[in-house]
Amino acid sequence: MPNLSFVGLLDDGWRDLVFEPFRDGISVHWLLKGGRVEPSVAILSYRPGAGVPRHRHAGLETIVVLDGTQSDENGDYPAGSVVLNPVGTEHSVWTKDGCVVLIQWDLPVIILGGAK
């Protein structure tokens, strides 16, 4: 399989992508859709007020905030932020005004509790 490249993606090229439903209030454009034991890479678009309930990371998750601000219990991450969530870390994620993130995860997260 050849490498995958996405020219201009970080320079607002994500705005031209087609998104599909992912979670309540969150849509996804898959760049590389893994499985239960394979890494995935995607662009997630959060509507204002959307979030992901408390979860534990079974593998490394890397987030690059492309637009808006994503938040968790540790702080607020505006566009340009890079967030690493190592194996075993737990948090909830939300956005007040909406955001778009580039996300890579080694393994799916384990949902622990209700929405924030």
- In single-letter form, the type of residue at position 95 comes to T
Beta carbons within 8 Å of 28's beta carbon, 6+ residues apart: 19, 20, 21, 22, 42, 43, 44, 45
The pLDDT of residue 2 is above 90:
no
Q: Are 75 and 63 in contact (CB under 8 A)?
A: no
CATH entry, 29-111, from 3.90.79.10, 2.60.40.790, 2.60.120.10, 1.20.210.10: 2.60.120.10
Q: CB of 85 within 8 A of CB of 91? A: yes
* pLDDT single digits (tens) 24-82: 999 999 999 998 888 999 999 999 999 999 999 999 999 999 999 999 999 999 999 99
